[in-house]
């Protein structure tokens, strides 16, 4: 149930560069706060979280015929973990 709050990891050019600095990027549920995110990552992956940075990327428009709307938005999180540790899903070793 807790893993459902973390939507998916983000693998862009910038986020892959950040992995070398022990920073991992995820999309999470909008309702989560920084302390909740820190505890969630610590419980799921058993790593020491040093900092949590969040932002909400701009919403993108979606069009289907004459109807126009917006894609669902997520909260994007950059998590810094203790050096020497890594997340097993995104292991670069």
Q: Domain residues of the chain, as ranges? A: 2-81
Residue 14's pLDDT is what?
A: 92
What's the pLDDT tens digit per position in 27-38?
A: 998 899 999 999
What are φ and ψ of residue 47, in 5° steps?
-125, 160
What is the model's pTM? 0.80
Q: At the fourth CATH level, which superfamily is domain 2-81?
A: RRM (RNA recognition motif) domain (3.30.70.330)
Q: Which residues of 2-39 are buried (b: 16+ CB within 10 A; e: fewer)?
A: eeeebbeebeeeebeebbeebbbbbbbeeebeeeebbe
What's the pLDDT tens digit per position in 44-89?
A: 889 999 999 999 999 899 999 999 999 888 899 999 999 888 887 6
Which residues, in sequence order, are bridge partners of residue 82? Answer: none
Chain centroid offset of residue 71 CA: 18
Q: How far apart are CA 80 and CA 83, in angstroms?
A: 9
């Amino acid at each position: 149930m807790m893993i459902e709050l973390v939507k998916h990891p983000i693998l862009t050019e910038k986020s892959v560069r950040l992995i070398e600095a022990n920073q991992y990027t995820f999309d999470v549920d909008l309702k989560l706060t920084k302390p909740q995110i820190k505890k969630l990552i610590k419980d799921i992956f058993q790593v020491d979280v040093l900092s949590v940075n969040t932002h909400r990327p701009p919403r993108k428009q979606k069009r289907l015929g004459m109807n126009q709307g917006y894609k669902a938005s997520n909260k994007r999180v950059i998590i810094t973990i203790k050096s020497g540790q890594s997340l097993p899903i995104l292991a670069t070793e």
